[in-house]
Structure 1
Amino acid sequence: MSLSFTFRRPELAQDLCNRLQGKGLSDARSGLFLAAPRRVGKSTFLREDLVPEISARGWLPVYVDLWANKERDPALIITEAIKKHLADTIGIISKAAKAVGLSKVNVMGTLTIDINQPGLPDNVTLSDVIAELSHQVKKPIVLIVDEAQHALSTTAGLNAMFALKSARDTLNFSAELPALMLVFTGSNRDKLAHLVLNRTQPFFGSSITAFPLLSKSYTDAFTKWANGNLARGNKLRAESVWAAFQLLGHRPEMLRDLIAHIALEGQAQSLSEILEDGARKINNRLWEEFASEFDALTAIQKAVLSVLISKGELWIPFSDESMAAYMAITKTRRLSKATVQTAIDGLREKNLVWKQSRGIYALEDQGFAEWFRLNRLAGEGQV
């Protein structure tokens, strides 16, 4: 029996690649935008299923994780990933090349970039480098940007998104098979949506697709594997594992940690009996943290957060409709925009609200919205 558990979703990877090609009813040649909560296996799928499928089709996968280093500008992370693949293709990152001091690449025949220097010179654009990479590899490129919404946190990051759109339009012009295909993922749907919402955004007109969560086929396979590690008579029940997995928000790592903890506590004989209860306690603990954070807010902060969650990506902080909603919730007759701005700033300091570089706002944690809708809106409908 295998000592580690793996679960593959090749059919999903094949379907997404077909969409990128424009095959079928779901055409993603303009870009594929996948949204899902954190820790549901999205990045694992990208690395272990999507990238291999891309390679199997003879395309070049370029994977970039914008959360790999949150302190670094997203634009620089994307740029360095493209430069690395270009250098690798030309062969100047080998030990032999470095030994003789080869570190520069000619782009578009005349422009030069130094692989050892971060970023790009003023006369070279990200679109130029992508075009050169396409020319060198002579195969379709699939750029996967994980946690793409982080690019919106800086002006340079947003400009990089426009550069990717420009490269896509240029390389794919009149091409039967797209030369550049783009995949963007995000753990916050509202944030990711700001790339496609209006005409000022780089991918206006594209749509957000919900990333398919792991289903019962995953927990059934995991249950079968886990039971191989347990003594006879101390087996997990597939239905209990599936119920616990749903309570944990379809998060595989949390499920495995919970089962391992129960087993290490010497309670393997009661795994199935206590699994659902343990998952429920974890979920309740998270809910309690959200409740505590919300209860500590001022009345106007609660009102702003309530309207933001209700409107989602369509929230306009200082519109007449929003201002009227704040006053209705706080039961006040007069409210200034300055007061609302102060409330928003306070919510940002508490990491409850996120601000794009251009001044657009969104909820920081989608889990908070889920808690709010279930525990506040479902009750009195008030904050």
Structure 2
Amino acid sequence: MEHFARPILAKTLADGLQGRAAFGDASSGLFLSAPRRTGKSTFLQLDLTPELESRGAVVVYCDLWSDTKRNPAHLIADSIANELSKHLGIVARTAKSMGLEEVNLAGWMKIDTTRIGKIDGITLTDAVKALHEVAKKPIALIIDEAQHSLTSTLGESAMTALKSARDQMNRPGRFNLMLVMSGSDRDKLLRLVNSNGAPFYGSSVQQLPNLGLEFVSRAAALIEQQLPARHPINVDKLLIAFNTLSCRPQFFASALGDVLNPLNPSPESCEDRLVAAALKRLADDEAHMKSDFLALRPLEQSVLWRLLDQGSHFRPYDADALNFYAEKTDERVTAQQVQHVLEVLRTRTPSMVWKSARGDYAIQEAMMYEWFAKLNQAGAWPPVGPERPLPRSTPLSRLRDRARRSQVG
């Protein structure tokens, strides 16, 4: 499906970044949260970026998930350096045409863009200021999946540097540096703003609105246009399918493609088949999470269970947590064992646990929180398989007791 533009939303957010909104603190930094695959990155690049450019801003976009093996701080520095290089080239050519051999830029003599943020290079703060100086325009820095910066000390320092640049470059009524931080996990993104030590303490995280009825109506119109025989399309059923797929346009388009494939004819209406396909996708996702959970060892299950239940209040090694693990595994559990388990869950493929540079933990895939809440509310947690594994190193006497209780039952 073609890109579904949201110009009104882009204009509203751009107004906030430029201090034109009556309420809100977007001019100090706009923090946007939206689940994965719901169109967040597409909106930032194809809607918000051109809107800001039309207002005269230089937009720098950096996706911290573009290369998860590299340090987030280096990705941010490279994005700024690439844009700065373009403008420095213009300045250098202008200086040469005027017969100048060196370029004096706001106190700096020749900037090596490959050394930004390094010991022998200019700081990230100065690099952003330099970009503003040479471009003669306000700068809009969009950092996608910004929560990933917190996984390294350098990444967190980069965020602090950007906050410093914002404070130095902005004045009441003049916003020379606009910051947009987006994330696919609200809980992780909040760690940038919700504590005294957070780089942007005091800012707020907003939920980016999901695509909804307008998007689905556009899809229905396209179907009717290309397949007149299916007119009229039941938009309500399409919306049910879209919501079942957690408002993820890519999955919606994929399911539509399968349903409308002429090689897969069916007596059912395409709308009913689409709803069925969405429900199957949801069931498959939940079955996959259940399978991953049941494949864990008992202590791994109990630690993950505690993390799902506690969320941002998770404290892995306190007395309550250790008692919880002991109760679920029927064994004494030490802090060292828990630390090892968390590392196993963090480094497995795919990773199940996220860790910040400060030692905070969270579930890697936010969808697992929804799955946990759904089962917990239904009284169906924890999930069980055909044979739930016994704890490792269970004493023989305890096994015999369990066997006797089973016979009595």
Closer, same or farther: CA 93–308 of 1 in aligned 2, 3 Å: farther
Look up the SS of the partner of 1:275 in the other structure.
Answer: helix
Instruction: Give the Cα separation in 2 of the matches to 1:36 and 1:306.
Output: 24
Per-residue deviation, 1:381: 5.2
* From 79, 82, 91, the counterpart of 2:80: 82
Partner of 1:50: 48
Instruction: Quote the offset at 1:298 in angstroms.
Output: 2.1
Cα gap change, 1:380/1:288 in structure 2, threshold over 3 Å: closer, same or farther?
closer
Q: Label 1:315 to 1:157 Cα distance change in 2 as closer, same or farther (>3 A).
A: same
Deviation at 1:248, TM superposition (A): 0.7
Q: TM-score, normalization: structure 2?
A: 0.84
1:198 touches 1:204 (CA, 8 Å); kept in 2?
A: yes
SS in structure 1 of the partner of residue 357 of structure 2: coil
Q: Is the Cα–Cα contact under 8 Å of residues 64 and 144 in structure 1 kept in the other structure?
A: yes
Q: Which amino acid aligns with 1:129?
A: A
SS of match in other structure, 2:173:
coil
Higher mean C-alpha deviation, range 371-380 or range 141-150: 371-380
Aligned equivalents of 2:362, 2:276: Cα separation in 1: 33
Separation of aligned partners in 2, 1:159 and 1:112: 25
Within 2, Cα distance between the matches of 1:138 and 1:46?
23
**Bigger shift: residues 182-191 or 80-89:** 80-89
| Preserved CA contact (<8 Å) 1:142 1:182 | yes
Distance in 1 between residues matched to 2:90 and 2:374, nearest whole Å: 56
Correspondence list, 1:327-342, <5 A: 327-330=326-329, 334-342=332-340
Q: How does 1:101-180 map to 2 (within 5 A)?
A: 108-115=106-113, 120=118, 122-172=120-170, 174-180=171-177
Amino acid aligned to 2:309: S
Gap runs ≥5 in structure 1 = 98-103
Pair 1:355-2:355 in alignment? yes
Cα distance in 1 for residues equivalent to 2:380 and 2:326: 17
- Determine the C-alpha separation between the residues in 2 that align with 1:76 and 1:95: 28
Does 2:215 match 1:218? yes
Pairing of 1:152-301 with structure 2 (within 5 A): 152-172=150-170, 174-233=171-230, 236-264=233-261, 265-267=263-265, 270-301=269-300
**What is the alpha-carbon distance in structure 2 between the residues aligned to residue 292 and residue 112 of structure 1?**
57
Pairwise CA RMSD of aligned residues? 2.7
5+ residue gaps, structure 2:
96-101, 384-409
Question: CA offsets, 1:90-147, max 9 Å, x none?
Answer: 33599999xxxxxx97654235332466764524101001111112223221110011
Instruction: Name the CA distance, whole Å, in 1 between partners of 2:180 and 2:135.
Output: 19
SS in 1 for 2:28: coil
Classify the secondary structure of the residue corresponding to 1:49: helix
Distance (whole Å) between structure 2 residues aligned to residue 267 and residue 246 of structure 1: 25
Rg larger in structure: 2
Code of the aligned partner of 1:241: L
- 1:101 is aligned to none
CA contact (8 A) 1:329 1:382 kept: no
Give, in whole Å, the separation in 1 of the partners of 2:377 and 2:343.
Answer: 24
Q: 1:105 to 1:199 in 2, by over 3 A?
A: farther
CA contact (8 A) 1:194 1:313 kept: no
C-alpha contact (below 8 Å) 2:116/2:127 kept by paired residues: no
Residues in 2 aligned to 1:261 and 1:137: alpha-carbon distance in whole angstroms: 48
Q: Shift of residue 234 of structure 1?
A: 6.0
SS of residue paired to 1:228: helix
Distance in 1, Cα, partners of 2:92 & 2:166: 29
Q: Report the Cα distance in structure 2 between the residues aligned to 1:268 and 1:47, rounded to whole angstroms.
A: 39
Identity of aligned residues (%): 37
Given residue 160 of structure 1, which amino acid in structure 2 is its aligned partner?
A
Distance 1:126 1:186, change over 3 A: same
Shift, 1:83, TM fit: 1.7
| Residues 266 and 105 of structure 1: CA distance in aligned 2, closer, same or farther (over 3 Å) | farther
1:374 maps to 374
CA shift for structure 1 position 330: 3.9
Q: Which amino acid aligns with 2:322?
A: M
